[in-house]
Amino acid sequence: MSLLPVKLEVEVDGMQTRLDFASVQVRDLGASREFYSQVIGFETAEHSPPGAVVFRDGQGAIFAIRVPLPGTDTSKDLGLGVGLWFAVGDADALHARIVSGGGQVVSPPQPGPFGRMFVVRDPDGYGLTFHQR
């Protein structure tokens, strides 16, 4: 699957700043790796640090999952309040792939603020929004 590049650039104290990479903590690294690679279709990077899995697109690393940091209360919903948005070329095709792979769709494809979109929930409760560009 190819994700489309999205650059969020803002100016902070006169300097251009942009979000370049994100990672989230997961309870079961193996199960989450399978979800993101098999159900969603993310491509794993050749190399990931210990305790993490990095996913990439044609331009490099874009996202990672990792084991929880020491002291993290994993009895709670790790994804509570976190929403991640990914731009895709064809929201309906990806939605069909996720449904056929057993993914939990929270909101079906519909018009959204950035184009056609839908929302799924990952195994740790993170809301993943895929919007068509």
CB 18 within 8 A of CB 8: yes
pLDDT tens track for 87-99: 899 999 999 999 9
Length of the chain in terms of residues written: 133
Burial class, 18, CB count within 10 angstroms (exposed 0-12 / middle 13-18 / buried 19+): exposed
Q: What confidence tier does 44 reach under pLDDT thresholds 50, 70, 90?
A: very high
Entry pTM: 0.83
Predicted local confidence at residue 97, as pLDDT:
96
Q: What confidence tier does 21 reach under pLDDT thresholds 50, 70, 90?
A: confident
- State mean pLDDT over 34-38: 96
